Structure 1
Amino acid sequence: MRILIVTDAWRPQVNGVVRTLTETIRELQSFGHEVEMITPQSFATLPCPTYPDIRLSLFPYRKVARLIAAYQPEAIHIATEGPLGLAARRYCLRNGQAFTTAYHTRFPEYIHARTRLPLSISYAWMRRFHNASSAIMAPTQSIVDALAARGFNKVVLWSRGVDTELFSPGPRDRLDESEPPRFVYIGRVAVEKNIEAFLKLDLPGSKWVVGDGPLLAKLKKHYPEVHFAGIFPQAELVRFYRAADVFVFPSLTDTFGLVLLEAMACGTPVAAFPVAGPLDVVGDSGAGVLRDDLRQACLEAMQLDRQHVRAVAERFSWQAAARQFEHHLRPNASHPAPEANIRAFDHPQ
């Protein structure tokens, strides 16, 4: 099958969308599919307001239309709601071409955090964008249910995986001369990640933030005792995951949180709030502790068995996730979707 994926998020960006698409494409090609992409790398771009690392393509419709027409894809997947996604959607609707979309990011909540724009306005726009598709792929069952409750149609589950060879237990470097325990956050340093909820905690040992983003300079100034390590290639993140006694995930708005799986695959337990994402990935599995009191979650997570944490991560497969994706590209398929490689865990008591 010739598959075209259109995305506004692509390299050199480092985020969950890019990682998910990279792994999915690799698996699809291993299944024998031909995959072509339309990304910002082929367009003139400008930096996204408030988030300059994200590049927005300028006036892309004509070129997007030419690329789609030339490739003649058998399936089109629109991964993002940016300029390229809008252009591809417009082409498909004009030409009667079916397409699928994905809900990777809670943009209404992100926009609200930055501008205070009411969620109802953003969700109305998102519904209009996605409801024209033959399937809206969401990463967890709780997100599927939440979107359906907000009037999104044909929402289906497309789970996620983890590279358990790259992310694996191993030597636990000290990182610096400070005494353990080490509490580590890895991810974008941006307001929607709620990082200050972690940095404000009174915890023993040291706190580490690994990543970059628009909030970095401010947080460095306000929290001089915190170790800000900067950004690293994916392969080098393993050192930080392994060294951590607890991986702290303070976000309240992520749809999944691939970093949760990466930490768990390295044997590092998770401390997080009991919200969508952590509830689906960690839940009551024993791989982490979810509490409204994040400090208590951090302290309790230190007591968990790292071997068990690793075993939980091994349940997640990129191959199984890609099979789900493949199935959803065929809206008239009569056979059921492949079984999800995650389940919704109960809230830990």
Structure 2
Amino acid sequence: MKIAILRTDGSDVDQRQYNSQEIGLARGLAHQGHTVDIITARGAANNPSIEDIASGSDYKITIIRTGYRRIPVLEYGVLTGLRQLLFRGKYDLVHLSEENNPATTLVAFHCRRLHIPYVIYHGMYVVPSGRARTWYDTAHGYLLAPAIRRNARAVLAKTTTARDFLQARGISNVQVLPVGLDTTRFDTPTEASPHEAILSDLKARYPRVMLYIGSLERRRNPMLMVEMAAAMKADTALILVGAGPMTETVRQRIKALGLNNVLMTGALGQEALPAIYRNSDVFLLPSDYEIYGMVLLEALYFGVPCVTTATAGGIDVIGNNHAGAVIDGVGLDDWVAAVRKTTLAAANPEYSERLQALVRETFSWQKIAQRYMDYVSENRV
């Protein structure tokens, strides 16, 4: 089968980028012998660029970069030159993201005219914010969505929360298909991390090490994690990996509290992360909103349990699999208690082994690609 996977948000796909969902799914499908084109932006509609990234006797993965045009006011955008690409590509299936995105609407109508089946893979679970986007979402629901759903081969949701969101909008027969983890970069041996000595010293001084990886921004509540480090400074350290608009605010708060148990590394490449995960006891993700939270899967891959808020990915990945704790809200006492309880349970080696097995058996892209093709072949909404 020849499949087109579209990235419609205007960003590019880099094969060196870790945890690209498009590349991960493409690799899983290629493992079954399918040929996959990933169509994305950062090219020209009249002269798309083509990059072959993998091939074999019965499969091929290619990135095709076409044009992109942003829609004024809505802050959405659409890929340009797409109808010609779909026509020339002779695809058996087209993969789209987000049911209520204008780009999905446009591609769905292209597919209908070209008689190409398409599948929608949805992750959002709240109505988009902003007056213009809310207006569009309402109009979409009444005028466009019925035809898009009627002609879709399948509608898949990344989480049960996203499924419930779609069902509340009148879409039936939505199947939950989780996001996978591409472990190829973590599976490849790397040189020793320059942070090895610092990490070893931190681990030697503190029996418990908390870890956060991601942007230091308001919706991720980094100040909560700093306050946790202050409340637990006698026996617990905190590693903050990443940068963002709150970096300096966080740094100043750490200084004001006189904390010596917090390490801020700044943004790091993927090659540095395995050593950091292996020297951590619990992963923190106190987000107000997460469509999924890929870092949760990364942490579990290294056997590190997670404490997270009750976001869509946190509920499905952590709560439903007893892989840590899911907390309602960001109360300091609740988070401190959850960390202590979780790390106590994780002291049993079998606990970490179970988390690692969970990722291999449930959240690998090969496993998910198998389920994907089953849904696409058997279901029709």
**Which category describes the TM-score, using the shorter chain as reference length?**
0.7 to 0.9
Q: Is the 8 A contact 2:94 2:119 kept in 1?
A: yes
Indicate the residue corresponding to 2:86 in structure 1.
68
Indicate the residue corresponding to 1:244 in structure 2.
280
| 2:304 is equivalent to residue 261 of structure 1 | no
| 2:374 is equivalent to residue 327 of structure 1 | yes
Indicate the residue corresponding to 2:227 in structure 1.
200
Distance 1:36 1:306 in 2: 42
Distance 2:164 2:76 in 1: 30
What root-mean-square deviation, in Å, do the aligned CA atoms of Structure 1 and Structure 2 show?
3.9
Distance 2:15 2:245 in 1: 14
Shift of 1:47: 9.8
Instruction: Evaluate the alpha carbon distance shift between residue 99 and residue 216 of structure 1 in structure 2; reply closer, same or farther with a 3 A threshold.
Output: farther
Distance 2:103 2:268 in 1: 28
Instruction: Report which stretch shifted further, 124-133 or 19-28.
Output: 124-133
Distance 1:125 1:273 in 2: 32
Indicate the residue corresponding to 1:162 in structure 2.
181
Q: Is the 8 A contact 2:325 2:342 kept in 1?
A: yes
Distance 2:266 2:248 in 1: 11
SS in 1 for 2:3: strand
| 2:185 is equivalent to residue 185 of structure 1 | no
Indicate the residue corresponding to 1:5 in structure 2.
5
Distance 2:293 2:132 in 1: 24
What TM-score comes out, normalization by structure 1 length? 0.75
Instruction: Report which stretch shifted further, 257-266 or 79-88.
Output: 79-88
Indicate the residue corresponding to 1:103 in structure 2.
122
Q: Is the 8 A contact 1:159 1:324 kept in 2?
A: no
Aligned to 2:342, which of 281, 285, 301? 301
SS in 1 for 2:20: helix
Instruction: Evaluate the alpha carbon distance shift between residue 154 and residue 268 of structure 1 in structure 2; reply closer, same or farther with a 3 A threshold.
Output: same
Q: Is the 8 A contact 1:75 1:98 kept in 2?
A: yes
Query: Residue by residue, what CA displacement relative to the aligned partner does 1:204-259 show, whole Å, maximum 9, x if unpaired?
Result: 33322223445445544555555332333334321221111210111242233222
For structure 2, the residue ranges without an aligned partner over 5 or more in a row are: 44-65, 329-333
Instruction: Evaluate the alpha carbon distance shift between residue 255 and residue 56 of structure 1 in structure 2; reply closer, same or farther with a 3 A threshold.
Output: closer
Indicate the residue corresponding to 1:345 in structure 2.
none
Instruction: Report which stretch shifted further, 196-205 or 257-266.
Output: 196-205
Instruction: Evaluate the alpha carbon distance shift between residue 186 and residue 231 of structure 1 in structure 2; reply closer, same or farther with a 3 A threshold.
Output: same
Identity %: 23
Instruction: Evaluate the alpha carbon distance shift between residue 150 and residue 219 of structure 1 in structure 2; reply closer, same or farther with a 3 A threshold.
Output: farther
Instruction: Evaluate the alpha carbon distance shift between residue 148 and residue 14 of structure 1 in structure 2; reply closer, same or farther with a 3 A threshold.
Output: farther
Instruction: Report which stretch shifted further, 205-214 or 70-79.
Output: 205-214
Q: Is the 8 A contact 1:130 1:136 kept in 2?
A: no
Q: Is the 8 A contact 2:122 2:156 kept in 1?
A: yes
Count of paired positions:
320
Query: Residue by residue, what CA displacement relative to the aligned partner does 1:106-130 show, whole Å, maximum 9, x if unpaired?
Result: 464xx54xx6x69965764675776
SS in 1 for 2:325: strand
Distance 1:248 1:176 in 2: 20
Q: Is the 8 A contact 1:130 1:152 kept in 2?
A: no
Higher alpha-carbon Rg: 2
Distance 2:140 2:378 in 1: 21
Q: Which one-letter code corresponds to 1:21 in the other structure? A: E
Instruction: Answer 1 or 2: which has greater helix percent.
Output: 2
Distance 2:5 2:104 in 1: 10
Instruction: Report which stretch shifted further, 277-286 or 313-322.
Output: 277-286
SS in 1 for 2:181: coil
Distance 1:138 1:144 in 2: 5
Aligned to 1:175, which of 192, 199, 216? 199
Indicate the residue corresponding to 1:310 in structure 2.
353
Indicate the residue corresponding to 2:62 in structure 1.
none
SS in 2 for 1:182: strand
Instruction: Evaluate the alpha carbon distance shift between residue 332 and residue 157 of structure 1 in structure 2; reply closer, same or farther with a 3 A threshold.
Output: closer
